[in-house]
Amino acid sequence: MTFDRFLKATLLSIAVTAATASPGGAQSLTIMEGETTTALQVPLNRAVVVEAENPFAELSIANPGIADISTLSDRTIYVLGKAPGRTTLTLLGPDGRLITNVEVQVTPDIAEFKERLRQILPGEGIEVRTANDGIVLSGVVSSIEKLDRALDLASRYAPDRVSNLMVVGGTHQVMLKVRFAEVQRTVLKSLSSGLSIVEAGSDAAISAAGGSGSLVPGSSIGAPGSTILNLNSAVAGQAAVGFDIGSVAFAVLLQALEEKDLVRTLAEPNLVALSGQQASFLAGGEYPIPVVDDDGGVTIEYKPFGIQLTFTPRVIDGSRINLELNAAVSAIDGQTTITNAGFAINGFSRRETETTVEMMDGQSFAIAGLLQDDFNDSVNQVPWLGDVPILGALFRSTNYQRSQSELVVIITPHLVSPTSGEALALPTDRVRPPTESELFLFGQTARPAGAPRSGAAAEVAKQDFAGSYGYVME
């Protein structure tokens, strides 16, 4: 009997020590006879010591799989949390009467998690609660990056059982400004020649031409002293000269051509999206493409073209923004054509970039750049005669072509917030249809009357509408 009392006293001291040292609410609880008690919170794999006001003779636990009990004395109970859930602890007196029922709630031990959360994310207003066998996080955090860190840490304590009720404070709507700038230059030069020799009063004649050189239509080459210069679109850059020496008539044809092309394109799509949400933009059209199915029928599929932008912004910390984006500029290429099911289909020229970058609010990044330089030249000549110095130029045709293309894509994100509608200016704010008298009598196509008198729209309306407007490129 003495040994049993010693063993119980030892177990009681160990339980009280462990319960007192446990930071998760695992402390001793005293039960008053006949009093309705609140739920007994027992952390998972931790113990709570329950003391009764009067001695009990019998006790039982409704679900031993949730909590385990053992008696340390006729007034003290040792409760150990085994699995998350709720159960009931019943105490009976020596005369068999009910002393009380205690609701036992076993929850995950979040004391260590709270401590680690304070160490890793100090100063963040994150509240931690338990729900059944999971963890619930709530409160306001300063950035999405810290929210992700809190969720990752919580998943280590309750895998796949974390509920996120946290919100991110601050401004988290992003406007992305994308600028496409492209310049294309093409230079084409060609030189061709032809020579004709005819003896007067004879049917014999000698003629030679280099490459694409051809006589000017309707010219009287061969007549003494003839000179013809033709600059029409079909044979631009041709010059023909005829002269005779004695009874021999000579005709010389030269064709020199130089072409220069310059194309400049600029597109600036702007788009606003909420942090973490995808947004897309298309300014252009759809091109119909016939497709033949297995049964021989023809269906029409549409391919979009124009200015396309798709991006997903994420505000990470303060004004730091992570961007996943796809930007493209496409157009119908009239020089590339294929035939499908009896239909002539044009090809497309497309410049596209897809990337992920990170920058601060208002900063710019050149996410894509292309410098392409194509060079091509060719020489066609009459064998041997074209190799003769100087005079050999009359028997050669030379072509030179060079194409250069420069493309730059620049992005600039901004953190934005909504404003009142009166502060926004529209292109139509300073234009109003004219009356019939203004149109037919005075020739006015628009009038600024009725424009807003205050706000940003009024400032736009005060500007002079005469002259160039829209995107003007000097």
Does residue 279 carry a pLDDT above 50?
Answer: yes
pLDDT, position 456: 53
Angle between helices 144-157 and 111-120 (to 10 degrees): 150
**Range in 40-54, 322-336, 382-396 the model is least confident about:** 382-396
Which pLDDT band holds residue 440 (cuts at 50, 70, 90)? confident
pLDDT, position 22: 40
- Mean pLDDT across 379-390: 77
Distance of CA 319 to the CA centre of its chain: 18
- Mean pLDDT across 437-466: 64
**Range in 103-107, 240-244, 370-374 the model is least confident about:** 240-244
pLDDT, position 15: 43
Does residue 163 carry a pLDDT above 80?
Answer: yes
pLDDT, position 220: 43
**Range in 91-95, 205-209, 271-275, 429-433 the model is least confident about:** 205-209
Does residue 371 carry a pLDDT above 50?
Answer: yes
pLDDT, position 324: 92
pLDDT, position 38: 62
- Mean pLDDT across 19-47: 59
Collapsing DSSP states into helix, strand and coil, what is residue 10?
helix
Strands 47-52 and 29-31: parallel
Does residue 460 carry a pLDDT above 60?
Answer: no
pLDDT, position 317: 72
* Whole-prediction pTM: 0.54
Distance of CA 221 to the CA centre of its chain: 66
H or E, element range at 257: strand 248-267
The terminus-to-terminus CA distance of the chain in angstroms comes to: 106
Domain 36-107, what fold?
Answer: Immunoglobulin-like (2.60.40)
Domain boundaries, the chain: 36-107, 110-168, 427-461
H or E, element range at 146: helix 144-157
Please state, in angstroms and rounded to a whole number, the distance separating the CA atoms of residues 352 and 331: 12
Residue 154 CB-density burial (10 A; 0-12 exposed, 13-18 middle, 19+ buried): buried
Does residue 152 carry a pLDDT above 50?
Answer: yes
Domain 110-168, what fold?
Answer: Histidine-containing Protein; Chain: A; (3.30.1340)
